[in-house]
Amino acid sequence: MCRMKAYPLKFRPIYKQRIWGGQKLREVFDKDLPAGEKIGESWELADLLEDKSVIANGELAGQTLQSAIEKYHKEITGDKNFSGAFPLLIKFLDAQDVLSVQVHPDPDTCRRMGRGQPKTECWYIISAEPGAVIYKGLKEGVTKEQFTEAIEKGTVADMLVKIPVEVGQCHFLPSGTTHAIGQGLLIAEIQMPSDTTYRVFDWNRVNDTGKSRDLHIEEALESIHFDSSGDNLSVTKMGRLVDCEYFKVDKGHQGKNCELLISAGQMKTLIIISGSGTITGAGDRVEFAAGDTLLIPAIYEGVMRFAEDTQYLTVTI
């Protein structure tokens, strides 16, 4: 097998139309969104059955992430021997309206129900309109019986911890946490590779045809961790933002004209929140700008040079 000429991999975004979306990703990151559509999600790095990221640059352009890893597993992943899908799903979310109240199952719940994929995630707040909030977890002492009654009465929001948010915060949401993203937020979401979502309340909304979205009340009630409170979930702003068994997230900040050495040995993913610059290695030069997500192969060595003040997230597994 030929050895990969390693370089930072960029990907074609996968855009998802959502009832609560908008065009903010075009305004902030200059994404080439379909005109006039409510784009709520841009999947920046994905390896799900029906949505697979395609490499956009270099010699591997046009290949899926999956096919590149199959061919150059050691070079890209290093000593990571994960089976199945790439173990991360990275998105940008544009919430022009509040999202549904929902929950994602944990591994035990998926096994118990015989379906679904577990999902632990975190949200990094890129921009927030004045008064923006998220709903993160149940209030202390809320029982399954009380929550079921709230579903019937349409008072689910009263059961949730409502949190005002600020730019630069990172909110950790382990699987089993009831949650919703509020209106006026642009978020980077880092999560396990799952699209299993159980909606329990959708604010009585309907789509353009007058139809409400499906709810998954039975599955949601089975998935929610009623023994944990949202008041105890972490929020961080600096340094290591998340350190869980599925992924680690670190925040970096470099000034204009600074340089940062990229050492070989560990695969890493960079999410550029603001700023721009270049990554230069042995014969390659890759530009990056706000809104880019880059996968750095484990064997790659290079230097990041920052053309302006830059904030970024580094994700490792």
List, for residues 32-62, the tens digit of each pLDDT value.
999 999 999 999 999 999 999 999 999 999 9
**Whether 203 and 297 share a structural domain:** no
The candidate with the shortest Cα–Cα distance to 92, out of 22, 153, 141, 37, is: 22
**Whether 76 and 218 share a structural domain:** yes
Average pLDDT, the chain: 95
Domain boundary among 240, 268, 294: 240
Q: What is the pLDDT of residue 2?
A: 58
**Which amino acid appears at position 198 of this protein?**
Y
| Helix residue ranges, H only, the chain | 24-29, 65-71, 73-77, 107-113, 144-153, 217-223
In a domain, 130, yes or no: yes
In a domain, 290, yes or no: yes
**Whether 234 and 89 share a structural domain:** yes
Return d(Cα 62, Cα 116) in angstroms, integer: 30
Q: Which residues of the chain have pLDDT under 70?
A: 1-2
How confident is the model over 177-198, as pLDDT tens digits?
999 999 999 999 999 999 999 9
In a domain, 28, yes or no: yes
Return d(Cα 144, Cα 139) in angstroms, integer: 12
**Whether 122 and 87 share a structural domain:** yes
Q: What is the pLDDT of residue 1?
A: 45
Residues with a catalytic annotation lie at 199
Residue 39: burial class (beta carbons within 10 Å; 0-12, 13-18, 19+): buried
**Whether 48 and 83 share a structural domain:** yes
Number of domains in the chain: 2
Q: What is the pLDDT of residue 81?
A: 82
Q: What is the pLDDT of residue 132?
A: 98
* CATH number, domain with residue 286: 2.60.120.10
- Domain range for 261 is 248-316
In a domain, 2, yes or no: no
Element (H, E) at 252: strand 248-254
